[in-house]
Amino acid sequence: MIEIKDVYYAYRKAQSEISGKPFRIPKDFDLYLESKMPAKNIEYLEAITKYFNTKWRVINPKDYFSCGFEIFGPNFTYYKFLDNKVLRLYIVRDKAKKLNKELNSKTFQNSVDFVIKYMRERGYNSDFSLIRQYCSLTEQREKVPIKHYQENKIDKYFLTWILLNGYLIIDDIDRAMIPLIVSNYRLYTNEIENFGDILNITKYIK
């Protein structure tokens, strides 16, 4: 069950990400509510907390508040918590996110399938990690995973995944060949962390 403190934290975190400024949670949250927060703001917090625990159970509070800041900017505050425009934007964003996840799942799966097929055709030692053997390969002094990424045979998330897990070590020359991965590395790694079941397919190549 989501509590008021959780909702307040989600709101402040979304606010912090938009503004680029850090935030602090009061040590004694109950005391903060009683002594410093206006009664009206408490009402808005209680109302939206009830929504998140009932008909909005599937809604992520932080993502919801991020939509609010996207619409209203710094003027998104307590009295706009239940504005219908925020909910509509959240629904659009959520549908797009789910569709994107499905597409990512397919392309990631295609990358795994390609690597397995490539290694079977090339030949590898089944007593050792397939993915480590794959990442150790070079063609004309170019690392094979980078070459395959450039040829669209593996996708950006798969290449990021093998970098994230230390299967592939790259140098400055390699980085210059994958500028999109380098400049968006943190974004891609964050997205990979939300892949969930998608990553289960990697057990076939470890």
pLDDT (tens, 9 = 90+) of the chain, 206 residues, equals: 999 999 999 999 999 988 888 888 888 999 998 899 999 999 999 999 999 999 999 999 999 999 999 999 999 999 999 999 999 999 988 887 777 766 677 888 899 999 999 999 999 998 999 999 999 999 988 999 999 999 999 999 999 999 999 999 999 999 999 999 999 998 888 888 777 666 676 776 77
Domain with 57, as residue range(s), is: 4-82
Q: Judge if 61 and 137 occupy the same domain.
A: no
108 plus 9 within the same structural domain: no
User: 64: helix, coil or strand?
Assistant: helix
Contact 188, 154 (CB under 8 A): no
- Contact indicator for 69, 15 with CB cutoff of 8 Å: yes
Is the pTM higher than 0.95?
Answer: no
Of 82, 104, 127, the position where a domain reaches its end is 82
**Could you count the other beta carbons within 10 Å of the beta carbon of residue 164?**
15
Are 122 and 77 members of one domain? no
Domain count, the chain: 2
Query: Is 88 within the bounds of a domain?
Result: no
Last residue of a domain, one of 82, 106, 127: 82
